[in-house]
């Protein structure tokens, strides 16, 4: 895999890719790169006006579709109008925000980052031909995931733990989906990726003093650009060497920057009991029964 970069991306001519949250940051960079490689890219976003500016810059290879992952009605509406794609990239997310609720009453971070993507994937899985790539984070290693209290109704809310929980849930889902696809004999693949420490707008909404620490960190040599942070997900989405059930991230400085490589993750993500309980709880909360086959 070496120093894989955009010049190593195979032609995406004729392929269709859906990217959630592609109006800024990592998703925007993924959309730009995939459009330049010839893919027809759908920017599935809540802020359609902002997404349209990105699509206009990419050109005729890009289009915008409205999708608010914090509202299951919006997820279902998007799925109802979905006409298929080769790749779905579950990228959109919020990070370490003050306590809030989605339209369906879920804690905002678990609701947007995980449950929204779980529902979306389940509703369109039969129309994805090749791969599902789900974004996790280095912060998944700090999670204290409580399947019985995903929505923070019993615990005292901690914005950073809630974020970490959502990213561990994303990783567990991606790996579990990969196993279920393999057992079903499906040719589809589920992969996960993380961007390392990438300078994006995501870090500007925590409303805490630590936000300024992160903004200063964005100016250090450790932080990489959003374009570089997008590379692990782009590798997972396009490389013929990216395998079902693998997790990719930057290879250097404790996985904070560098070219894509296999990433490390908490053993909890392989726990079959956690996987089963999380999947069942997500189906219960979202009302989406995920059929793998």
Q: Taken in order 242, 243, 249, 250, is the CA torsion positive or negative? A: negative
The Cα 51–Cα 66 span in angstroms is 9
20 phi and psi angles, rounded to 5 deg: -80, 145
CA distance readout (Å), 113 to 38, 102, 237: 28, 11, 19
Q: What is the pLDDT along the chain (293 residues), one digit of tens a residue?
A: 459 999 999 999 999 999 999 999 999 999 999 999 999 999 999 999 999 999 999 999 999 999 999 999 999 999 999 999 999 999 999 999 999 999 999 999 999 999 999 999 999 999 999 999 999 999 999 999 999 999 999 999 999 999 999 999 999 999 999 999 999 999 999 999 999 999 865 544 445 554 444 444 444 556 899 999 999 999 999 999 999 999 999 999 999 999 999 999 999 999 999 999 999 999 999 999 999 97
**H or E element that contains 73:** helix 72-80
Q: Given this model, what pLDDT does residue 131 score?
A: 98
Residues facing 41 on adjacent strands: 17, 62
Nearest alpha-carbon partner for 124 in 159, 170, 75, 167: 75
* Complete domains list, the chain, with CATH: 11-285 (3.40.50.720)
- pLDDT at res. 201: 59
> Exposed, middle or buried: residue 109 (CB in 10 Å: 0-12, 13-18, 19+)?
buried
pLDDT of residue 276: 98
Could you list the active site residues?
Answer: 163
The Cα–Cα gap between 134 and 168 comes to 11
pLDDT at residue number 217 = 44
pTM: 0.93
Structure tokens at 243: 């395998």
Hey, which bits of 147-267 come out as E strands? 189-193, 247-252, 257-262
- Can you name the residues that pair with 217 across neighbouring β-strands? none
Tally of CA atoms within 13 A in the half-sphere of 72 that contains its CB = 17
Residue 131 to residue 85: CA distance in whole angstroms:
9
CA distance 119 to 75: 7
DSSP 279: H
Handedness of CA 242, 38, 130, 268 (dihedral sign): positive
Tokens of 221: 């040599």
Half-sphere exposure of 52 (CA within 13 A, CB side): 4
- Retrieve residue 90's tokens: 């579950």
Q: Report the pLDDT value the prediction gives residue 204, as an integer from 0 to 100.
A: 45
Q: In this structure, what token pair is assigned to residue 61?
A: 């290879």
Record the tokens describing residue 136, joined without a space.
């996790």
Rounded-to-integer distance, Cα 124 and Cα 241, Å: 25
pLDDT for res 199:
81
């Amino acid at each position: 895999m070496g120093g894989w970069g955009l010049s190593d991306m195979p032609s995406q001519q004729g392929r269709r890719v859906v990217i959630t949250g592609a109006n800024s940051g990592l998703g925007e960079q993924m959309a730009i790169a995939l459009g330049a490689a010839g893919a027809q890219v759908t920017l599935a976003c809540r802020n359609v006006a902002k997404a349209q500016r990105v699509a206009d810059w990419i050109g005729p290879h890009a289009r915008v579709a409205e999708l608010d992952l914090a509202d299951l009605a919006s997820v279902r509406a998007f799925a109802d109008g979905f006409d298929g794609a080769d790749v779905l990239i579950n990228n959109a997310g919020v990070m370490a925000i003050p306590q809030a609720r989605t339209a369906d009453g879920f804690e905002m971070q678990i609701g947007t980052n995980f449950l929204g993507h779980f529902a979306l994937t389940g509703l369109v899985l039969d129309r994805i031909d090749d791969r599902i790539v789900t974004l996790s984070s280095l912060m998944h290693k700090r999670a204290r995931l409580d399947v019985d209290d995903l929505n923070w109704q019993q615990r005292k809310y901690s914005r950073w733990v809630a974020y970490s929980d959502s990213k561990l849930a994303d990783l567990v889902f991606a790996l579990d989906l990969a196993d279920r696809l393999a057992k079903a004999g499906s040719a589809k693949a589920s992969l996960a990726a993380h961007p390392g420490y990438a300078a994006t707008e995501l870090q500007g909404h925590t409303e805490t003093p630590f936000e300024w620490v992160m903004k200063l960190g964005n100016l250090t040599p450790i932080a990489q650009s959003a374009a570089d942070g997008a590379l692990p997900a782009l590798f997972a989405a396009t490389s013929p060497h990216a395998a079902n059930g693998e997790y990719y991230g930057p290879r250097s400085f404790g996985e904070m920057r560098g070219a894509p490589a296999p990433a490390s993750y908490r053993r909890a993500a392989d726990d079959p009991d956690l996987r089963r309980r999380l999947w069942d709880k997500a189906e219960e909360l979202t009302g989406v029964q995920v059929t793998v086959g």
